[in-house]
Each structure stands twice: as C-alpha cells, then as structure tokens.
Amino acid sequence: MQSKMYTAQFGKEESNQLLRSVYNWMMVGLLVSGLTAFMVSHSEQLTHILFGNPYMIWVLFLIELGLVIAISAGINKMDVSTARMLFILFSFVDGLTLAVIFMVYTDTSIASTFFIAAMTFGVMSLYGYFTDTDLSSWGTLLFVGLIGIIIAIVVNFFLQSPVMDWWISVIGVIIFVGLTAYDTQKIKQMGEQMVQESQESLSRVAIVGALSLYLDFVNLFIMLLEFFGNRRN
C-alpha cells in the first residue's frame, strides 16, 4: 500500500514537472510568434514580400505543416535541442502568417481578444487538469471536427462566404475549447505514466505537449477574432 502511494505521488510530481515545462515552452512559442507578427506587420517591405504574392501564404502553411509532422512523428529520434529548435522555428513561421492579424484588426481589439482567449484557455486547461471525468472519448469527435474545420477553411478560401466564415468560427471555438481540456488531461496522464523515464524523455514530451497547446490557443484566438475583433478602416 505504501509503495503504491509513493508511486502515485512520484507520478504526480512527474506530471506537474511535465506540465510546467509544457506551459513554459508554449509561452516561449507565443512570445516568438507575437513578436514576429508585430515586427512583420510594421514593415512595409516584409508585408509586401509575404502577402503581395497570393501563393506565399500556402508556402508558409506547408512549411508549418511539415514542421508539425517532423516534431510529432520524429520526436523520439531527435535530440531535445533539435526538437526545441524546430519548435522555435515553427513559432517563427507561424508568426509570419499571423502578421496579417495586425494588418486587419485594430491593436486594441487584438489585445482584448487575446485576453479573452487566454482566460478561456486557462479555464479549460484547469478543467482538463482537475476533472475526474475521462475525456479520452472526446478525442475522435474533436479530431473529426478539426478535419472538417480545415476542409471548410480551404473551401471558403475560394468561396469567400461571410456566413460560412461565421459558422467556421463558431464551430472552431467549440472544437479548440474542447481540445484544450482534452490535450491538458492527456499531457497530465502521460506525465503520471513516466515515473521511470529520463529527464530527456520528459523534455521531448514537453515540446510535443507545448506544440499541441500552442496550436489550441492560437486557433482559439483566431476564431474568437471573428466575434471580438474590430477591423481597421
């Protein structure tokens, strides 16, 4: 009995250590993306290079997708330093695409929407951490919804339908709110199962976890801009 209690306690310590590392790296990623987006949006030359060519955004999207796949699929085969470098690179590239937000929306509405997104993310992450409900059953539904959202965004890129854009944002908020709780609980459970794992293994998992929560937060923020963002005149 005492041994089981010790193992459970040790697993909890590993889980908390993992989550702290995840949140720290997530914040690093958001900082890199935010600074990159802000600097690019205030450079006429850079904005012309990135957004003057309609195909450039697709190139950046494919680079981001490749980095996500590289980090997620190859995490066990790469050094921790390499994984961290790829995550920072992803955050930088994502910041290039996010620069358009500063060009479309007012700074005040971006700041207020960021605050709303942060509060929503925080509440749902806390729920995922503390709830006794097993959220694993959400996984398939959220994944299907995510694929549907991606397809709808691609289709609406050509249709340019405001109504479809509104519904994408509504459903997107629901999906990324759910994913925040789901991913937090999954990271917590992974930490509890890594009692015998090395510090290097924990560091690798922390990068993957940071990438997941980073994507949840950024996409939640983007979806909320549809409702709370004020466009520039």
DSSP labels, 14-53: HHHHHHHHHHHHHHHHHHHHHHHHHHHHT-HHHHHHHHSS
- The whole-number average pLDDT for the span 177-196 is 88
130 assigned to some structural domain:
yes
Q: Is residue 118 part of a domain?
A: yes
Work out the pLDDT band at 197, boundaries 50, 70, 90.
low
Residue 27 resides in a domain? yes
- With respect to residue 57, please indicate whether it lies within any of the assigned structural domains: yes
Task: Choose among 147, 103, 102, 129: nearest CA to 209.
Answer: 129
Look at residue 179 and tell me if it is in a domain: yes
pLDDT, average across residues 100-123:
94
Cα 213 to Cα 41, 97, 161, 192, 208: the distances in Å are: 25, 18, 29, 18, 9
Strand partners, 34: none
Residue 81 pLDDT more than 80?
yes
Stated as kind and residue range, the H or E segment containing 103 is helix 80-104
pLDDT tens-digit profile of 1-53? 443 433 344 456 777 888 999 999 999 999 999 999 999 999 989 898 888 88
Domain count, the chain: 1
- Is the pLDDT score of 178 beyond 80? yes
Share of the chain above pLDDT 70, in %: 94
**Parent domain of 214:** 2-228
User: Is a pLDDT exceeding 90 seen at residue 195?
Assistant: no
Query: Once rounded to an integer, what is the mean pLDDT over residues 60-72?
Result: 93
Q: Is residue 83 part of a domain?
A: yes
Q: Quick check: is 30 in a domain?
A: yes
233 in any annotated domain? no
